[in-house]
Amino acid sequence: MATPLATACSDDLAAAYRRLNAAYQQTLRYAEDVRVLYQQLQRGIYQSLLGLANALEAKDVYTRGHSERVGATSRRLAVALGLSTPEVEIVARAGLLHDIGKIGVPESVLRKPGTLSNDEWAQMRRHPLIGAQIVAPFEFFTAGAVVIRHHHERMNGSGYPDGLSGASIPLGARIVAVADVYDALTSDRPYRPAMTAPEARKHLDAAAGDTLDDQVVAAFFALTQHEL
Ligand SMILES: [Fe+2]
């Protein structure tokens, strides 16, 4: 039989354990609140950036909806290529925001119907760098900034801004590039009408392994074969 002293000690221990456990549970709730708030903050920042990108597109009938489509296709490609869920989110969001740097390119250059001069072309080619700089302050989107910076690199090294080639181009950028090229080809532009889907697929097929990643193009064909 327990002595009175032993019983009192046991009661004290049980009460201390309950207090400790309550404090621990409260800490878990605080941590969850902080996590939810952080996610809301991230979403708010993405929405603001997307609002900027959409405002830019809304002024131009030729590019309206382009970012949304590139974002959606990039997401599907990232899933098909087996990227992790956080990586898929980064690629999808970078796809949405890939051309945000065009905010820094004069409208006279963006909307020019004819061929760009060397100087105008140099201004246009700055948009991946400007885009990466716009999102650079957001530490949670560092990988997305890299995708935005490199979405005009080409597998054969002829792209910009850094002339990267092959596997040195981040996979996310290779994914966005395929989604971007296909959507651009199948959209009207001031200087040419939209290609049909079969024409655009032929173009992608020819570019696979040369300017575009052949595995990403193969994934695109596999994904869209029943949509034509
Ligand atoms: Fe671009």
pLDDT digits over 41-82, tens only?
888 888 888 888 888 877 776 677 899 999 999 999 999 999
Contact predicate 151/176, CB 8 Å: yes
- Cα of 105 vs centre of ligand 1, distance in Å, is 11
- Cα of 19 vs centre of ligand 1, distance in Å, is 57
pLDDT at position 228 over 70: no
Q: Which pLDDT score, from 0 to 100, does residue 82 have?
A: 98
- Cα of 127 vs centre of ligand 1, distance in Å, is 7
What is the average per-residue pLDDT within 128-152? Answer: 95
Rounded CA-CA distance 123/89 in Å is 30
Q: Which pLDDT score, from 0 to 100, does residue 145 have?
A: 97
Tell me which of 60 and 158 has the higher pLDDT: 158
- Cα of 33 vs centre of ligand 1, distance in Å, is 37
Cα distance from N-terminal residue to C-terminal residue, the chain? 82
Q: How confident is the model at residue 214 (pLDDT cuts 50, 70, 90)?
A: very high
Average confidence score pLDDT of the chain? 91
Locate the domains of the chain by residue range: 61-224
- Cα of 67 vs centre of ligand 1, distance in Å, is 10
Residues 6+ apart with CB under 8 A from 189: 62
- Cα of 113 vs centre of ligand 1, distance in Å, is 17
- Cα of 98 vs centre of ligand 1, distance in Å, is 6
Q: How many CB atoms lie within 10 A of CB 99?
A: 26
Closest CA to 169 of 151, 187, 182, 184: 151
Please name every residue paired with 212 in a beta bridge, in sequence order, or none if there are none.
208
Residue at token pair 């098909």? 80
- Cα of 174 vs centre of ligand 1, distance in Å, is 12
- Tell me the pLDDT tens digit for each residue of 76-117: 999 999 999 999 999 999 999 999 999 999 989 988 888 899
Rounded CA-CA distance 178/176 in Å is 6
Closest CA to 147 of 160, 161, 132, 134: 132
Please name every residue paired with 189 in a beta bridge, in sequence order, or none if there are none.
192
- Cα of 45 vs centre of ligand 1, distance in Å, is 21
Cis peptide before 161 (omega within 30 of 0): yes
Q: Which pLDDT score, from 0 to 100, does residue 184 have?
A: 94
- Cα of 228 vs centre of ligand 1, distance in Å, is 26
CA dihedral 137, 72, 110, 114 (to 10 degrees): 150
- Cα of 176 vs centre of ligand 1, distance in Å, is 10
Q: Which pLDDT score, from 0 to 100, does residue 163 have?
A: 97
CATH class of 61-224: mainly alpha
Backbone torsions φ then ψ of 112, nearest 5 degrees? -65, 125
- Cα of 150 vs centre of ligand 1, distance in Å, is 9
- Cα of 205 vs centre of ligand 1, distance in Å, is 20
Tell me which range, 45-49, 124-128, 139-143, 184-188, is most confidently predicted by mean pLDDT. Answer: 124-128
- Cα of 43 vs centre of ligand 1, distance in Å, is 23
Q: Which pLDDT score, from 0 to 100, does residue 1 have?
A: 62
Using alpha carbons only, how large is the chain's radius of gyration in Å?
A: 25
Task: Give residues whose Cβ lies within 5 Å of ion ligand 1.
Answer: 99
Token code pair at residue 26? 């409260």
Q: How many CB atoms lie within 10 A of CB 184?
A: 16
